[in-house]
């Protein structure tokens, strides 16, 4: 009987790990469709960002109550699942509470700690569900989240409640079996929460208790493996990608824009024609980004790391004043387009033009023009995502490749080109206004 259970467990585990690995490798491939960008300087500062922002969730503490709740659900779910190691080994070797004989009373202490976190996760998940579906906080009922994104968040919260409840029920029935002196159920002592539940099961027969305990055990571990394979399709992939995303964040001063070498070269060649390449086959430079392949790999990592929390849009003056722009939607659209491109490559072994681009088909001109480049979205993001950089790249393509700009902008561009300033005055006449002050 145990051999059959072990074979079934190992088969399920192997299938889950294989599928997760396959999906993660596809996501990695999709990210590296982006343009190369070197972001590995100043490693001490990068490690500091990873520890403070991804692990310590520093930016979340601008709202301490929400930050503490998020920290409970995040650390609780991750730390509790350290117990998964024991569950996996028990499933492979056909043992039960494999670590208890080695850890003794410390094992009971650990499980008590895990149960406190499990109870905390359940409470916080209920609060978060209420905020989304009963209180309906503004950033959670935005049209950005219509359909699947809204359901995705609810599914995850409900799944976490179920998994933590199964964990506590499994421990409670396990303790009830210990008190009855059943077989290989080691006497671990009372656990803080399941110990309170154990008396409820005291009147149950050993056979019934074993059935409940084993059912909870199987559903709990299969649920965790299912959750693992749900992550690549969910916004909750940020549980994994928040760490590399904060490590590879751009470190220069906030709001600093990077110049395009191709533009700088064109200006240099205009001023000094002798420096222009004489190779007739020289490739014509492109400016900005029209599709996801034109963005950098960091932009694409940003898209996959987005938590859809809406803090960027809540801070955006364009969003607040009713403009079409929503930085959260920029990230969601980029991820959706990247996923579509990835499926295209998987189906055709290479990308086959599908008549779509990120610019225009996913993100509109009106959205791009509404951005004031104030950097509020970047400052608000808990995991160092920059919607602004994507907006700037798309806007560069829109203007420099498609010559699509409002007349007011074109007038300003012409003045800068001819007069080296946004105003229609020659450089020689620019200071004449002070003559009247003499």
- Decide if 310 is inside a domain: yes
Could you count the other beta carbons within 10 Å of the beta carbon of residue 420? 10
Asked if residue 94 belongs to a domain, the reply is: yes
* Residues 6, 134 within the same domain: yes
Percentages of the chain per state (helix, strand, coil), in multiples of 5: 70, 0, 30
Contacts of 208 (CB under 8 A, 6+ apart): none
Residues 8-51: tens digit of each pLDDT: 999 999 999 999 999 999 999 999 999 998 898 899 999 999 99
Q: How far apart are the C-alpha atoms of 270 and 38, rounded to whole Å?
A: 29
Alpha-carbon torsion 338, 342, 343, 349, what sign?
positive
**Residue 315 pairs with which residues in a beta bridge?**
none
- Mean pLDDT highest for which of 194-203, 273-282, 314-323? 314-323
Between the CA of residue 69 and those of 59, 80, 156, 227, what are the distances in Å?
14, 16, 16, 21
Q: Are residues 218 and 297 in the same domain?
A: no
Are 167 and 220 in contact, with CB atoms under 8 Å apart?
yes
Domain, as residue range, for 407? 285-426
The answer on pLDDT for 291 being more than 90 is yes
Q: Do 70 and 196 have their domain in common?
A: yes
Neighbours of 266 (CB within 10 A): 14
Closest by CA position to 17, among listed 236, 167, 226: 226
Same domain, 226 and 311: no
In this structure, is residue 83 part of a structural domain? yes
In a domain, 378, yes or no: yes
Residues 406 and 321 in one domain: yes
Distance of CA 298 to the CA centre of its chain: 13
Bridge partner residues of 35 (DSSP): 296
Instruction: At 257, list the tokens.
Output: 């824009």
Return the structure tokens found at 97: 């509470």
Task: Say how many domains are in the chain.
Answer: 2
Residue 180 lies in a domain: yes
Q: Which of 385, 383, 405, 384 is nearest to 394 (CA)?
A: 405
What's the pLDDT score for residue 98?
A: 85
- Asked whether residue 120 falls in the same domain as residue 68, the answer is yes
Q: Are residues 183 and 314 in the same domain?
A: no
Which of 227, 247, 267 lies at the terminal end of a domain, its last residue? Answer: 247
Q: Are residues 215 and 339 in the same domain?
A: no
How long is the chain? Answer: 438
- Residue 363, helix vs strand vs coil: strand
Domain check: are 202 and 314 in the same one?
A: no
- Shared domain for 140 and 91, answered yes or no, is yes
Count helices and strands in the chain by DSSP H and E runs: 19, 0
Cβ within 8 Å of residue 403, ≥6 positions away: none
For residue 258, the 8-state DSSP code is P
Tokens of residue 81, six digits: 């699942």
Q: Give the least confident one: 100-104, 281-285, 331-335, 372-376.
A: 281-285
Residue 48 in domain: no
Lowest mean pLDDT among 218-222, 245-249, 378-382, 428-432: 428-432
Cα–Cα distance between 56 and 60 in angstroms, integer? 9
**215 and 355, same domain (yes or no):** no
State the CATH number of the domain containing residue 370: 1.10.1060
- 45 domain-assigned: no
Whether 275 maps to a domain, the answer reads no
In degrees, rounded to 5, the angle at the alpha carbon of residue 142 between the alpha carbons of residues 325 and 355 is 55
pLDDT tens column, 207-232: 899 999 999 999 999 999 999 999 99
- Interval 133-164: pLDDT, tens: 898 888 888 888 888 888 898 999 999 999 99
**Angle ∠(51,132,76) on CA atoms, nearest 5:** 35
Predicted pLDDT at 280: 58
Average pLDDT of the chain?
A: 88
The answer to which of 122-126, 281-285, 398-402, 420-424 has the lowest mean pLDDT is 281-285
pTM to 2 decimal places: 0.87
Q: What pLDDT shows up at residue 282?
A: 61
DSSP SS3 for 62:
helix
Same domain? For 206 and 307 the reply is no
- Locate 109 and state its tokens: 């202490």
């Amino acid at each position: 009987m145990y051999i059959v259970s072990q074979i079934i467990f190992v088969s399920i585990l192997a299938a889950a790990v294989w599928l997760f690995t396959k999906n993660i490798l596809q996501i990695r491939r999709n990210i590296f469709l982006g343009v190369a960008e070197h972001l590995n300087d100043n490693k001490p500062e990068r490690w500091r960002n990873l520890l403070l922002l991804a692990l310590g969730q520093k930016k979340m503490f601008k709202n301490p109550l929400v930050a503490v709740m998020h920290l409970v659900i995040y650390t609780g779910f991750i730390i509790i699942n350290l117990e998964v190691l024991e569950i996996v080994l028990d499933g492979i070797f056909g043992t039960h509470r494999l670590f208890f004989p080695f850890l003794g009373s410390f094992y009971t202490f650990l499980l008590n700690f895990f149960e406190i976190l499990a109870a905390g996760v359940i409470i916080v998940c209920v609060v978060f569900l209420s905020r989304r579906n009963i209180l309906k906080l503004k950033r959670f009922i935005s049209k950005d989240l219509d359909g699947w994104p809204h359901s995705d968040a609810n599914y995850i919260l409900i799944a976490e409640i179920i998994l933590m409840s199964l964990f506590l029920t499994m421990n409670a029935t396990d303790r009830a079996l210990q008190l009855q002196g059943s077989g290989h159920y080691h006497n671990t002592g009372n656990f803080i929460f399941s110990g309170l539940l154990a008396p409820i099961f005291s009147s149950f027969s050993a056979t019934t208790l074993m059935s409940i305990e084993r059912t909870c055990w199987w559903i709990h571990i299969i649920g965790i493996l299912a959750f693992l394979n749900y992550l690549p399709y969910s916004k909750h992939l940020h549980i994994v990608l928040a760490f590399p995303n904060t490590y590879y964040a751009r470190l220069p001063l906030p709001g600093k824009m990077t110049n395009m070498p191709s533009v700088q070269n064109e200006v240099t060649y205009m001023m000094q024609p002798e420096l222009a390449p004489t190779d007739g086959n020289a490739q014509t430079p492109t400016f900005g980004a029209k599709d996801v392949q034109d963005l950098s790999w960091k932009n694409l990592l940003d898209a996959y790391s987005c938590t859809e929390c809406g803090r960027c849009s809540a801070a955006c003056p364009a969003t607040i004043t009713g403009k079409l722009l929503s930085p959260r939607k920029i990230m969601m659209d980029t991820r959706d387009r990247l996923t579509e491109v990835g499926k295209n490559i998987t189906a055709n072994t290479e990308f086959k033009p599908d008549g779509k681009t990120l610019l225009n088909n996913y993100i509109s001109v009106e959205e791009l023009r509404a951005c004031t480049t104030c950097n509020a979205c970047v400052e608000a993001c808990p995991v160092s995502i920059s919607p602004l950089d994507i907006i700037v790249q798309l806007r560069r393509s829109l203007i420099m490749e498609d010559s699509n700009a409002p007349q007011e902008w074109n007038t300003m561009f012409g003045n800068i080109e001819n007069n080296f300033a946004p105003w229609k005055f020659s450089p020689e006449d620019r200071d004449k206004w002070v003559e009247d002050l003499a």
